[in-house]
Structure 1
Amino acid sequence: MIIMVPRTPSRPAALFVLAAITTLLPIDVQAQDASAWQKASHAAVRLLAGSRSGPVLLGGIAVQLDPGWKTYWRTSGDSGVPPRFDFSKSDNVEAVTVLWPAPAKFDDGAGGFSLGYHDQVVLPLRIVPKSNDKPVTLRANINYAVCEKICIPVEASTELTFASVASTEDSVLFAALDTVPKPASVGDPNPLTIRDVKRDGKSTVLVDVLSPDARTVNLFVEGPTPDWGLPVPKLVEHGPAGVKRFTFQLDGIPPGTNPEGAALKLTLVGGDRSYEFNINLE
């Protein structure tokens, strides 16, 4: 790449140009509360920094997708590839936790369903510094896939320093937090809840859901470790009165594994409500 270096203007002219550029820059660029977009085929990602206050920092990974393209949730469903994140090259970072907004369900074109996001999404991050009185720079290496009729693997690397005491991205990050499923227990009196989970024979699990109206409800299930590949639960057409019954098979579990007592995570999504249930399979 050839970089053209212009003739250096006089000091007064340079100050005038700098002032003009600063005036025209968006607020988030001036405050450096967001990294530059890392663009790739049909998608772009960047980091967001929340206000620097308290022992745990709030950040985010923003993803933009071309119309018709999608990317995946932490569990991709019957097909697809979940994203992977590496924050190991960060400065003054003890731990990073990725939080996941409730996903949508897509027909994967092969008789199954994939789980993920379309258009745009912000994945909130909870960041624990090693020292609260030193600068924090988050460096992320991101491997993800974007899919339409075909899937394209994408890799991006980006970094961002958390410096603002009043970040311009706080409202975006708090809105993203609101889309993360809330923790719940079976039988909780929420407007949308799981009433019961039970086995039907050795390999079938039934989940009864209470929903306040006829809205579309989806249920997703994850095993205790990533090598569990449980299928996306299906809605039973003629379930018990007053409930939505979902069923899934204990397929895709590691060979030789006894599912008795296994810790499962159930994510229930209906409209703008979503809840996460941790259960032990009986």
Structure 2
Amino acid sequence: MKKIVTRCLTLGGLLAASLIWPLATSSLNAYAASTEWVKVHGGAVRLISEGGTQNGLYSVGLEFSMEPGWHTYWRNPGEAGIPPVMTADGSRNLAVFKVGFPIPERHDDGFSTTLIYHDQIVLPLDVAAGQTDQPVQLNLQVAFGICNDICVPGEAALSLSLEPGSPPDRTSRLLIERDKNLVPQVVDAGSSSIVSLERMGTETPATLEVSAKVSSVDPAGLDLFADGPEGSYVGVPVFQNLENGIATWTLSLRGLKGKEDGSQLMLVLKDGSKTEESWHPIARPLLDNGG
């Protein structure tokens, strides 16, 4: 099963790497709609499920519950922090495993801007069975950062049996659907609200001016987030202007992982209640030496 990685340790992660947190495990019987909570410093994590299915497609969630003042990170943590890393190694009858990331919030601690979740968040997991009439044994290993004044690594091994005939769980369904609605809609670059990516100056790596057509008239309703291929360390876009329905941000391409022919930049636009995700090609000359 493919490893799902959202880019590596940054400044906060380097601090956390010096700490050791033991691996915890949790599993329940075949008909449970959730695992037990696995407690970590500053919070807890578990798996939840909406229940059985007749077509082999399951709606599952990785639920984080954090103590007041604590937070965890989006797929790209920003200028510091530890991104989540998930694998489903050892799962049985698992054909598809896809993680959704709800829109994060910006957090400025006076030293860096990070992209976070706080209080409670569910990362929706789309799971498909190889044989639809047989159960899926989902074994999830997750490593993540959880931070307050300091960052510490959290780890858990979570196991949940997904049965075709298991009863529905209304509470889990509401929690999963609540945050699944915050996962950006994926659109093609040509049909996205991003209207231009223009280079600013001549420095390498390039700084881009990203322009988007928006419906919000108040900048408070807008935000832009960025990520790249695995191995990237993309920064946080900086808002510049909103005029005549066009919003602009600047973004350095430093840390964007490249290949010989260039790279891809993921942009997530928040425009009021509308969110969208699109990937955009980046030409090789705009990248740093080797990405």
Normalised TM-score (structure 2): 0.76
Q: List per-residue Cα deviations over 1:144-198 (Å, max 9, x = no partner).
A: 1111111011111221111324233223222221110012345758xxx333222
Question: Which ranges in structure 2 are unaligned for 5 or more consecutive residues?
Answer: 1-28, 284-291
Q: Does 1:179 align with 2:160?
A: no
Letter of the 1:91 partner, please give it. Answer: R
Give the match for residue 236 of structure 1. 240
Q: Distance in 2 between matches of 1:272 and 1:118?
A: 19
Q: Equivalents in 2 of 1:275, 1:259: separation in Å?
A: 28
Correspondences of 1:27-46 after superposition (within 5 Å): 32-46=32-46
Shift of 1:59: 0.6
- CA–CA separation in structure 2 for the residues paired with 1:56 and 1:46: 20
Q: Residue type of the partner of 1:150?
A: I
Could you tell me whether the CA contact under 8 Å between 1:98 and 1:124 is conserved in 2?
Answer: yes
1:123-202 equivalence runs, <5 A:
123-163=123-163, 164-168=166-170, 169-185=172-188, 188=191, 193-202=193-202
User: What is the CA–CA distance in structure 1 between the aligned matches of 2:97 and 2:207, rounded to whole Å?
Assistant: 36
Mark the structure with the bigger radius of gyration.
1
Cα deviation, residue 64, structure 1: 0.4
Which residue in the other structure is 1:10 paired with? Answer: none
Question: Does the aligned pair in 2 maintain the 1:79–1:108 contact within 8 Å?
Answer: no
Q: Which residue of 2 aligns with 1:3?
A: none
1:246 to 237, 240, 249: 249
In the aligned structure 2, how far is the partner of 1:79 from the partner of 1:57?
34
Q: For structure 1, which runs of at least 5 residues remain unmatched after alignment?
A: 1-28
> What is residue 51 of structure 2 aligned with on the other side?
51
Q: Secondary structure at the match of 2:231?
A: coil
Q: Is the 8 A contact 1:50 1:162 kept in 2?
A: no
Are the equivalent residues in 1 in contact too, given 2:227–2:267 (CA < 8 A)? Answer: yes
Q: Please tell me the residue identity of whatever aligns with 2:183.
A: V
1:94 paired residue number: 95
SS at match of 2:114: strand
Matches within 5 A, 1:4-43: 32-43=32-43
Q: Which residue of 1 aligns with 2:281?
A: 280
Q: 1:219 aligns with which of 224, 229, 242?
A: 224
Q: CA RMSD in A?
A: 2.5
CA separation of 1:211/1:261 partners in 2, compared to 1, >3 Å: closer, same or farther?
farther
Distance 2:30 2:93 in 1: 23
Q: Which amino acid aligns with 2:216?
A: P
Alpha-carbon distance in 2 for matches of 1:228, 1:99: 19
The CA deviation at 1:229 is 1.4
Distance 1:259 1:216 in 2: 38
CA distance in 2, matches of 1:136, 1:184: 30
Contact 2:221 2:272 in 1 (8 A): yes
Between 59-68 and 262-271, the greater mean CA deviation after superposition: 262-271
Q: Relative to structure 1, is the Cα distance of residues 152 and 271 closer, same or farther in structure 2, using a 3 angstrom cutoff?
A: farther
Q: Give CA-to-partner distance per residue, 1:79-119, whole Å, 9 cap, x none.
A: 11101112112222233111111111111432x31112011
Query: Does structure 2 conserve the Cα–Cα contact (< 8 Å) formed by 1:135 and 1:162?
Result: yes
Provide the aligned length of Structure 1 versus Structure 2: 246
| Matched residue SS, 2:177 | helix
TM-score by length of 1: 0.79
The verdict on how the C-alpha distance between 1:186 and 1:135 changes in structure 2, with shifts beyond 3 A counting, is: closer
SS in 1 for 2:175: helix
Equivalent AA in structure 1 for residue 37 of structure 2: W
CA deviations 1:183-231 (Å, max 9, x no partner) are 2345758xxx3332222344121111224220332111112x2222121
The one-letter amino acid paired with 1:232 is V
